Each structure stands twice: as structure tokens, then as C-alpha cells.
Amino acid sequence: MTFALQLLLRPFSWLYAAVLAVRNWLYDRGWKPTTAFVQVPVLSVGNLRVGGTGKTPHVAWLVAWLQARGQQPALLSRGYGRRTRGYRLTTALDSAATVGDEPWQQFGQFGGTVAVAVSENRVAGIGQLLAEVPAPTAVVLDDAYQHRRVRPAVNILLTEQQRPFYADFVLPAGRLRESRAGAARADAVIITKCAPDLSAATRATITAQVRRYARPEVPVLFSAYDYGPAVPVPGTAAGRIAAPEGGSEVLLLTGIAQPAPLLAHLAAAGYRVAHHACFADHHAFTPAEIVALAAQCQPGQGVLTTQKDAARLQEPALAASVADLPVFYIPITVRFLADGEARLASLLDPYFPLPAVG
């Protein structure tokens, strides 16, 4: 967006921000109802910006941490992009179309060991999750920072190093869902997609900027991505060729908000991307698009994609199109920089104490 266009849109941003500020004020004063769940801790992961801050891998980190503490976590999201409505508990019979690409990815990632549910109404969704057998001992809300009807025990705010909320503006002049002041609700702020070697001086500068909006006692943490080796996507022809490695010429298929970090990783690893089929976030791939991609694929080449996109490629309607296409996804895990993991654990420890020994 050009600076001139941004200036023209600023008045609309101010109006939108004012409406949201009134909404938040009503919640803060208790004039709009909120629900706190005393049965189990509710942990919320979200952002101020529209799309692409790394919520899904951070939610996965949080779920794995809870499991390591002996907890039985459950995941609840709205289920963006699904073709169903209401509460739905994910089963092996579902797909990205019925629960959304991210919940379907999460269900597969944890092998069915974690209850993954979707519901537009998070209050009702949590209530229904707690009625499941066995009941979860913790509920993680994915992308619920603006869902004020639920009052979480811990509210985790994510923001990208390259696109921090403190340098952005409210829609439509920028990409913020609400004003920067919304950071004051966070119990922890995580700067995501950082360079692994981010210096202490740069971390201090970013922390000072965050402190202008977040509460002074709130920890400001930093995380980076670790990329794993290519994994075959089920239902495709990935088993017919060796998984692409650095130095290989590949095709790339993405339907995510920010493909730049993945492209940077592939370039650093020595991959040569011959063709990049780039689509919008949560894009529902069509058979025609897959056929067009296959036409670009030369013998011996593999197609790389993200784990979220792989979830959508497993739609039954695409089965015939992807069956002869060798598709692999690049897994992502979160790694905290410096003492970030220990500081986040100390924030969560009071809600999930380790059982006494002896």
C-alpha cells in the first residue's frame, strides 16, 4: 500500500478503531458479559494483526508442553473456511472442508490424541468440550484474542518481527484488527518468525517498543522457526520419488498469508524453486489448479508445500488430481530464543503444577 493511499484511508481506520475501542471499553467495564471457566484453565493464543503471525505452530508448541506436563489439553477454534456450522468435534471422518484447514492439520499432527473442536461461539464450545469424555484438563483457544466473551486464564499475543503491531495501523489503512492499545490485555507477548541469531540489542529495542502498549510486567519473548525435512503428503505420489533435499529443483505450492519465510528457508537450504503457485491464505484448491501445477512438474521434480496446505490437499474432491503428483510438506516447529521458553513456562506453571514426587 502506498503512503498516499494509507493517508487517505486513515480517517476510516480511526472510525473503525473508535468503534472497537467502545466495544473493548464495554467489556473492560463489565457492561458486556464475559465468561471465565473455573473448571479448567483456558489459554488463548491470538494476534492484533490479520493473518500470518504463526498461531498454528505456537499452539502446537503449547499443546505439546501441556502434554509433557501430564495434562489432557483440548483445542478449540472457530474453524475458519469450513462448510459446516456450530460445534463439531473433529474425527477421522472429517476434512478441512468440515472443520477448517488448521483444525484438521492439528488433529492429524497430534494423531487423534488431542480433542480438536470448532465452534463460532467459543463460550458454548468450551462448555461442550468440558462435557466430552474424558474431559480436558486445559483448553487452548486458537485465534481468540478479539473474542472477548471468554475471559482466559492466560492471554498470549503474537506479533511478527518483520510486521510488528506497534508499527502497523488499524484496517483499512493497515492490517490491525484493533488498535495497538489492545496489547494491554496480553499476559505474554511473543515476537515470532525471528532470525535465529537475533541479537540481544535488537531484542531490547523491540521489547522497548512493545512496552509502550503492553503492561510493564508482561514478558516479551522471541521465537524462531525450525524447518524439518520434507514429509510425504498422504494420497499423493510422494512415495514414488525420494524426498527433495537441498540442491533439488522443486515446485512450491502455498496458500498461506506469509510465504516469504518459507521461501527464505528453501533458498538458504539450497532448493531451487522452478515454479511457485501462490494463493491467498486458506485458499480452497480446485482440481483445475492442481492439474495446472502438475503440468509444470517435470520428471523427478517434487512439489513442496506447507503442512496447512497439505491438510487442504487431502480433500476427497482433489483425490484424483493429486494422486499422481509427488507432494511433500515442510514441517515447522517453534524454538524460543534466549530464556523465552523458561519464562513462558514460569507463567504457565501456577496453572499446571507438576505432581509431587514421593
Annotated binding site: 49-56
Among left, alpha and beta (phi > 0; psi -120 to 50; other), residue 30 is: left
Which residue ranges are tagged as binding site for ATP? 49-56
Residue pair 233/349 in contact (Cβ under 8 Å)? The answer is no
CA dist 160 and 84 (Å) reads 31
Cα angle at 108 between 103 and 113, to 5 degrees? 95
In which order are the strands placed within the sheet that holds 154-160? Answer: 88-89, 115-118, 73-77, 138-142, 42-47, 154-160, 188-192, 220-227, 332-336
CA dist 62 and 6 (Å) reads 36
CA dist 169 and 166 (Å) reads 8
Residue pair 172/9 in contact (Cβ under 8 Å)? The answer is yes
Radius of gyration for the chain, computed over Cα atoms and rounded to the nearest angstrom: 21
